Structure 1
Amino acid sequence: MKSHNRLIFSACLALLSGTCFSAPSLAQKGDAAALSVKIRDLGRAGKYAEAVALAERQVESLEKKHGPAHRDVGSALSNLGYAYANHGRDSEAEPLYKRAIVILERTVGADSPEVAATLTNLASLYQRQQRHADAEPLFKRALVVRERSLPSGHPDLGQSLNNLATHYEKLGRHGDSEPLFKRALAIYEKAAGPEHPAVATLLNNLGQVGKVQRRYGEAEPLIKRSLAIREKVLGREHPDVARSLNNLADLYERQGRYAEAQPLFERALAIRQHAVGADHPDTANSTNNLAAFYQASGRPGDALPLVERLIGNGRAQPRAALPVLADAERQQLMPREEAVNDMLNVIQRGTQSAAASAVNKLAVRLAAGSDRLAELVRRDQDLASEAEALDKSIVSAVSKERSKRDAASEQRARTRLAAISTERASLQKTLSAEFPGYAALSNPSPMTVKEIQSLLSENEAMVQFAVTEVESYVIAITRDSFDWKPIPRGAETLSQKIATFRRGLDLGKASDASGKSGLFDLALAHEMYGMLLAPVEALIKDKPSLLVASSGALTALPFHLLVTEKPAAAIPETFEGYRDAAWLLKRQAVSILPSAASLKALRALAARREQSTKPMTGFGDPLFNPAVKPGDGNRATRTAARSLATGAYTDFWQGAGVDRARLSDVLPQLPDTADELNAIGKNLGVAASDIHLGEDASETTLKRIPLADYGIVYFATHGLVAGDVKGLAEPSLALSIPKQPSEFDDGLLTASEVAQLKLNADWVVLSACNTIAGDKPGAEALSGLARSFFYAGARALLVSHWAVSSEAATRLAISTFDRLNANPRLGRAEALRQAMLAYLNDTSSPRNAYPAFWGPFALIGEGAAR
């Protein structure tokens, strides 16, 4: 039997949220207090449905007695949220927690224990949803409140220590988590005794830390002691017993002790099915764990029914389901096409990116057809996006100390949220009454092989990747065939290799061929090709156009720079040596799809959109420093990279915003972008009034013109990636900086502002630096500017993978549009391919052969002529 290092660890750490049940206040007497205690005890006993029913009655009773804003109502709402969360009803729990926080802050103060408890409950919910960035500040705030208000040995302080430690552990920060777990354990053993359920939770968590670090001899007795306490104190059928069983089973599986692991996994699943029902997230997690175990221990026939059940309710996890389906197909336990369709289902449901979600929303609007329905849908989507942003701002606010909060701003946000909720409720009634088919339209099913094939031309191949912790998969589809293969590399290995791959594309190391260790490694590019595409080469190699739907780390990989044949040398003696490499680009034009489903959105549904009436509008050569006039600048300025020195970014942050005066001093002017836009505009017959340069290349101009009239919307400027400027939470495009910045026009067009635009563009060009990047370092690529432009109404984007030479950007863009203008049926991806090859094959300078210069751009979305 083979070993299988499944990562179920993140699902098995436990928060001490059970102690976050809000106790009745001194004002609560008699029946109300007794009811609160009974709700808490039902939750601790795992009788979640009964706890929910009682908690709902308590809220209703207290609201009738005291009104909706009383302190006891706040506590009761927090308790009801906790009961819902235990029952797997997170979407109902979250708004209750937030409402409780508002009430409790007003009635007992922002630094009260009740507020700390509710902050912890909300953070716990976020952590369970893997929203770690939202959870961390809430956990920290709760800990600060309790450290200030409680003695050092108080159990609630132990709870906060455990919860913050759990957060660190889920992020792999073992050195930060373990001492906090030990400190919390010491507090609880002293305060509550050695057999308290909270002691069991902490023993479980410490055992998990040891387990993932392969300190099995230390981990096993800790987890066993945790299990023994829970069985004795809580009963053998309690859901927390299932948690300890899962953890001990996983420990045994990691050691190859399969006979001991199996009954523990099976018992954990049975407990959860009985306690919380078949559809609860915890039950789904146990089902995925057991399926993966059966697969790892050589029993695919037992694993398959579990996976099929999970696929049916939409809860199959790729890390568990994909190996089972792959093996079932190999062993002919299910038909090949059915297996691949199920794999596609799991991938599409389990790896939905933010950019793919934006394309899906666009597709819903396009498929709506009628002007009124499309208008209503767009309004509802815009309101939902606004509510999400406001909600994040409020959550961020409540995680801060009182002295750093703006009460008036928070109240404005809450008032606006209430107004949005009312308007969306009205919209939903209208949609249901006037357009009863809208619900099905807004929740499309995953695409099958045949559906994808019907959208492909004879000249196209699509590859869909799925990345899991242990191994990954590639599915290749053409119009008349399909294939799939495993990739024996997991997420961590792929991330490391792609980071190394990209280090060779730093323009700063490409001035000459010295320092070879920092130059692009052709051998690694060939290794990556062999790993990712060679397994399906026979199916895809003869198709001129390659569509790539990737996920995770692979979204940061420039696929066109893979090398299809073994190079003569990993790093050539001179730059000219790069010209002879067998770049994938020489064989195929590459388009990147946010998801497989986006192909349907961009093709079948986009055919319904109205054609734009004007060819192009462009924004370039923005004015960053009023002292520098448009068109000024020497050759050095004209060839500057469209990026800044990363190390200097934080210098531009002052107080509550970007110091645009200082930023303008260091942003190089880009006069060559005026040449770029004018040349392209001339070839496309663009009116001079549609090219906006200098002071006119501003947010004010952009937001006031009818962008939906233009087939191409073009930006030639600097790009700022989120995280590069301290406090700048979103990727942005730099436009002309006004003398008097305002909320309407501050010189930075952020991703959220882009999402509010109304486009009807076949192509949005972002001739700037690193515009493919995500919202923050390490985030999913394609999730920032790309997501927002798709949502706004773009079918395709031209973006860059790294800081690009301004001279190279201008040359590549002009060359691409020249080719497309000469032959409109060429397609965007092929025009870009030819432009890059022309640059690569230009022998006038050795640097032209180096991929950092000719290869920065990628085509995202629809690359074919349509």
Structure 2
Amino acid sequence: MARHRLAWVASLALAIASSLATPGVAQKGLAAEGARINALMSAGKYSEALPLAQGMVASLEKSDNGRDLAAALNNLGQVYAGQGHDDLAEPLYMRSIALMEKSLGLDNALVAAELTNLAALYQRQSRYAEAEPLFKRALAVREKSLSREHPDVGQALNNLATLYVKQQRQLEAEPLFQRALAIYQKAAGPEHPAVATVLNNIGQLDRDLNRDADAEAPIKRSLAIREKVLGPDHPDVARSLNNLAGLYEHQQRYAEAEPLYRRALMIRERALGPDHPDVAISTSNLGYFLYASGRTADALPFAEKTLATNRAQLRVVLPILFAAREQALLANDEALNQALAAIQRGTQSSAASAVNKLAVRLAAGSDRLAELVRKDQDLAAEAEALDKAIIAAVSKQAAQRDVAAEQRSRARIAAISSERAGLQKTLAVEFPDYASLSNPLPLTAKEIQPLLSADEAMTVYSVLDKRSYVIAITRESVDWKEIPLGADALAQKVTAFRKGLDVGKARDASGKSGLFDLALANEIYTALLGPVEGLTREKRSLLVVPSGALTALPFHLLVTETPEAAIPDTLEGYRSAAWLLRRQAISVLPSVVSLKSLRAFARKDQGVKPMTGFGDPVFNPAQGGPAERRTAGGKVAARSIASIAYTDFWRGAGVDRARLAQALPQLPDTADELSAVAKDVGATEADIHLGRDASETTLKRAALAQYGIIYFATHGLVAGDIKGVGEPSLALSIPDQPSELDDGLLTASEVAQLKLNADWVVLSACNTIAGDKPGAEALSGLARAFFYAGARALLVSHWAVDSEAATRLTTSTFDLLKSEPKIGRAEALRRAMLAYLDDASSPRNAYPAMWAPFALIGEGAVR
């Protein structure tokens, strides 16, 4: 589905939408102008429609006719969306919805059109979780206020089915498409453009389900209807041509596919202009088709044209660029830099974005300018959160809506817009580089190399659907290799790799079932680093920029040589494995440009105090203080409650913190951990917060920006683990009376509001590398939040850590830094892990789940 985009409903909305005009001369004029705008959009003539739509909005802005203004805003939004300017369309759609609901009520069928257009925008941006409830509400509103056989209900069914296909939910989509087709054929006749749209989608669905024999007829019928009714040069004709070409390509009928792809591209370029997203889709489709047909030289211009649009379709351009380089159709440096640029544009993670925002503040130089930048960034984040809240609200049924709260949110967004406009003017004068730094250009290989030391190598990964790529960069040279594993295969291997990383395996070594697989660790090493081993193996430090499933891969546990056995006979057998960590210190970077962000803009004025720490929180107030608990004896707990039934912890819609408090094991050893680290770095006792003092209240009231190290030693809760906790959190002391300031859980969104100036943040807790929601890419949760707050490096964990092991590893890391401060954080962590691994006093020490839970994210060197 990625290459052959399903037909969208803009033509449907224009063909069968009800008129919004009411009787009267002025209204008739508006209706005529609206009809003219719609006719131009139907013909794909967006540039002609734009000034008319803008003029209509301007003429209605000062009137009190909210309904007509809503319709005009909706039209203008459709014009912008048709031109590929979703950023301009989105606020118009949202304003249109608010006005239409105010004028007509929440359940009027006309509101559904606005909901549909906003949902379509989110679908184009792959924001499926936001699109689905909007589509569903539009369907519910239409079914409630119109007959179930009304064409608008057919449109809503088609829309929802299209979204399901995007989400790989074809079996749910099929009956919706069939129902929509029946409605349209009955209401509008067998040759209506709406019928063609649904037929096109049904054919695509058949092809997705490998029912090629069934797919051809509906797509051909769709094409015939569109050519007859809309004319041979209409953009909707190009949609059917594109999908028929895709079917023929799938059937290896290449001679029939190529002229269809070329005609679709020609129609779109002529009708929509060279910068339209549909033109980019046709360009990349034709380019990939030519590449897949073995015609790399013919494909290359289309790949370069796709790159020039700044819409990096990695799945298309990287294979073509790689083949062109291999066949000497492109110079090595040129191919590499184009590939690097495409990767950097196409894989911007939330953590990478947070690092860049930090870099902009650091580049501001003065504290005053940095504060202004932070204020602008915070306001932008607040407006985005309010936007999402409004979207969630308008997706609900009328009985579930809080209209007053929505109005307050809209008023706040307007106030933020005004405040940001003033800030932008000030920054434009005092910090003219703000705009360019906020959207940095991709780095070339020659720009990356000087940022690396002589002992460093960087590996940049791009994980695609059928294959992946690695680019290795050192100060002296660059190389680029293909990895014959796609996204699904790598995700499966990473999942299997992580299965053995359970501290319980080290406690119960009976049998080999479920133990860490050394052969798989070597297989993944061979695939990911083997191709560029010549560049990387002699460097003492390896900087990894992962993507996709690789963000959850602890690279330091890869095995560089074939093991004697996949599963050793004893736990001691793991000690002699050729761990990558024995050769190199590993740091993970959220993006390529974050290397520059963390090094070129590093602040020289370090925190005036060495460290503040929070540990041994009181989860159950009935228990004694830290000293009493440490002397009470008992088994050391794991910093995870993964074995607890989380269903025990919710009450209604939220967390029952009383029950959670009883379930969270106390962590008395964390007090010793913090005290030992504080001694190493010279922190005072007053800066270490234990027991009840290890609370959100203490944290949020502290002047955190004055500390070089922020240290948390506690339980980490992964997003989705507990109902009511929708994002990753750190557990601090649970107060007797929870409040908005302090409820005992420091969530990722609360972290993002902190103001730090930290060399690094230590998260000595469970799985703190995890994503911001179940299934999300790693690094998108606490890591993103702490980077945004002002951390330049993070120590995070990949799994539920043994508390005793965590204490030993972290204190050892800081001991090493104290004795040899110039070795850097990544190397100190490497040595601490190896010392644990090589300690033969216990067989458990050799098992990787014990000695290897931590990873260094961000700047690992001394700067």
TM-score class, shorter = over 0.9
Cα deviation for residue 439 of structure 1 reads 2.5
Q: Is the 8 A contact 1:18 1:44 kept in 2?
A: no
SS at match of 2:809: helix
Q: More deviation in 513-522 or 838-847? A: 513-522
Confirm whether residue 778 of structure 1 aligns to residue 781 of structure 2.
no
CA deviation map 1:207-265 (0-9, x unaligned) = 11221222111112121111111111111111111111111111111222211111111
Aligned 8 A contact 1:621 1:630 in 2 = no
- In structure 2, what is the equivalent of residue 825 of structure 1? 822
CA shift for structure 1 position 857: 0.8
Per the alignment, residue 125 of structure 2 pairs with 129
The answer for unaligned runs of 5 or more in structure 1 is 1-5
Matching of residues 215-294 of structure 1 within 5 Å: 215-294=211-290
Other-structure match for 1:612: 607
The answer as to 2:651 corresponding to 1:660 is: no
Deviation at 1:481, TM superposition (A): 0.9
Q: State the match for 1:556 in structure 2.
A: 552
- Contact 1:14 1:205 (8 Å CA) reproduced: no
CA distance in 2, matches of 1:162, 1:476: 46
1:335 Cα deviation after fit: 1.5
Pairwise CA distance, 1:537:
0.7
Query: Match of 2:721, as an amino acid?
Result: D
Determine helix, strand or coil for the equivalent of 2:739: coil
Whether 1:627 aligns to 2:622 is yes
Distance (Å, rounded) in 2 between the aligned partners of 1:771 and 1:548: 18
- Residues in 1 aligned to 2:37 and 2:615: alpha-carbon distance in whole angstroms: 62
Correspondence list, 1:668-817, <5 A: 668-817=665-814
Task: Read off the aligned partner of 1:479 and give its amino acid letter.
Answer: R
Q: Does the alignment pair 1:487 with 2:471?
A: no
Distance 1:515 1:194, change over 3 A: farther
Please tell me whether the aligned partners of residues 638 and 671 of structure 1 are also in contact (alpha carbons under 8 angstroms).
no
1:3 counterpart residue number: none
Structure 1 contact 754–788 (Cα < 8 Å) conserved: yes
Q: Secondary structure at the match of 1:486?
A: strand
Matches within 5 A, 1:148-547: 148-514=144-510, 516-547=512-543
Letter in 2 for 1:31: G
Instruction: Indicate conservation of the 8 Å contact 2:805/2:851, yes or no.
Output: yes
Q: Is the deviation greater in 579-588 or in 297-306?
A: 297-306
Moved more, 647-656 or 208-217: 647-656
Shift, 1:334, TM fit: 1.8
Equivalent pair of 1:239/1:272 in contact (CA under 8 Å): yes
Aligned to 2:35: 37
Give the letter for the 1:231 counterpart: E
- Which residue in 2 is equivalent to 1:14? 8
Contact 2:204 2:215 in 1 (8 A): yes
Query: Which moves more between the two structures, 175-184 or 642-651?
Result: 642-651
> Would the aligned equivalents of 1:284 and 1:310 in 2 still touch at CA under 8 Å?
yes
The DSSP-based 3-state class of the residue aligned with 1:516 is coil
Q: Partners in 2 of 1:785 and 1:853 — Cα distance? A: 22
Deviation sequence 1:324-365 (CA, Å, 0-9, x none): 111111111221111111110000001111101111111111
Alignment check: 8 A CA contact 1:637 1:668 kept = no
Distance 1:287 1:650, change over 3 A: farther
The alpha-carbon deviation at position 22 of structure 1 amounts to 6.3
Which deviates more, 472-481 or 104-113?
A: 104-113
In structure 2, list runs of 5 or more residues that go unmatched: none
**CA shift for structure 1 position 510:** 4.1
Partner-residue secondary structure (3-state), 2:507: coil
Structure 1 segment 566-605 matched on structure 2, within 5 A: 566-605=562-601
Shift of 1:303: 1.9
By how many angstroms is 1:485 displaced?
0.4
The AA in structure 1 aligned to 2:837 is L
Distance 1:637 1:535 in 2: 49
Q: In structure 2, do the counterparts of structure 1 residues 684 and 433 end up closer, same or farther at CA, with 3 Å as the change threshold?
A: closer
Is the 2:678–2:684 Cα contact (8 Å) retained in structure 1?
yes
Shifted more, 368-377 versus 145-154: the winner is 368-377
**8 Å contact 1:591–1:829 — kept in the other structure?**
yes
Maintained 8 Å contact 1:464/1:548: yes
Partner SS state of residue 601, structure 2:
helix
Whether contact under 8 Å (2:280, 2:309) holds in the other structure is: no
Separation in structure 2 between the aligned mates of residue 805 and residue 157 of structure 1, nearest angstrom: 56
Aligned CA distance change for structure 1 residues 326 and 643 (closer, same or farther; 3 Å): same
Query: Once the 2 structures are TM-superposed, how far is the Cα of residue 633 of structure 1 from its aligned partner?
Result: 4.7
Query: Which digits, 9 at most, give the CA deviation of each residue in 1:297-345, with x for residues without a partner?
Result: 1222222222223323312311111111111111112211111111100
User: Is the partner of 1:625 in helix, strand or coil?
Assistant: coil
Counterpart AA for 1:413: S
User: SS of the residue aligned with 2:645?
Assistant: helix
* Cα shift readout 1:167-215 (whole Å, capped 9, x = no counterpart): 1111111221112211211211212111111211111111112212221
Distance 2:45 2:166 in 1: 28
- Cα deviation for residue 646 of structure 1 reads 6.5
- Deviation for aligned residue 1:705: 1.1
Q: Deviations over 1:131-179 (max 9, x none)?
A: 1111111112212222222222111111121211111111111221112
Deviations 1:435-484 (A, max 9, x none): 33333332221111111110111111000001111111000011101111
Higher mean displacement: 838-847 or 824-833: 838-847
Which sits farther off after the overlay, 856-865 or 396-405? 396-405
CA displacement 1:580-626 (0-9 Å, x = unmatched)? 211111111110000111000111111x4411111110011111111
Q: Is the 8 A contact 1:78 1:100 kept in 2?
A: yes
CA distance in 1, matches of 2:365, 2:45: 48
Residue identity in the other structure for 2:613: G
- The question of whether the paired residues in 2 share the 8 Å contact of 1:734 and 1:748 is answered with yes
SS at match of 1:547: strand
The aligned residue for residue 58 of structure 2 is 60
Q: Give, in angstroms, the shift of residue 822 of structure 1.
A: 1.3
Is the Cα–Cα contact under 8 Å of residues 288 and 316 in structure 1 kept in the other structure? no
- 1:15, distance to aligned residue in structure 2 (A): 4.1
Q: Distance in 2 between matches of 1:156 and 1:108?
A: 18
Identity %: 67
Q: Distance in 1 between matches of 2:759 and 2:719?
A: 26
Is the CA contact (8 Å cut-off) linking 2:40 and 2:49 kept in structure 1? yes
Q: Deviations over 1:1-47 (max 9, x none)?
A: xxxxx9414x3353467427563143573111222222222222222
- Counterpart residue identity of residue 237, structure 1: D
CA contact (8 A) 2:280 2:306 kept: yes
Say which is worse superposed, 524-533 or 656-665, in terms of deviation.
Answer: 656-665
TM-score (norm 2): 0.96
Residues 472-519 of structure 1: CA distance to partner in whole angstroms, max 9, x if unpaired?
A: 100001110111100111111111111111122133444323453422
RMSD (Å), alpha carbons = 1.8
Alpha-carbon offset, residue 406 of structure 1 = 2.4
CA distance in 1, matches of 2:534, 2:445: 18
User: Could you state the TM-score of these two structures normalised by the residue count of structure 1?
Assistant: 0.96
Letter in 1 for 2:716: G
Q: Is 1:51–2:49 an aligned residue pair? A: yes
Cα deviation, 1:78-112, whole Å, max 9, x if unaligned, reads 22212221121111110011111111121211111
Cα deviations by residue, 1:719-765 (Å, 9 ceiling, x for unpaired): 11222222433211111111221111121111121111111111100
- The reply on whether 1:842 has 2:839 as its aligned counterpart is yes
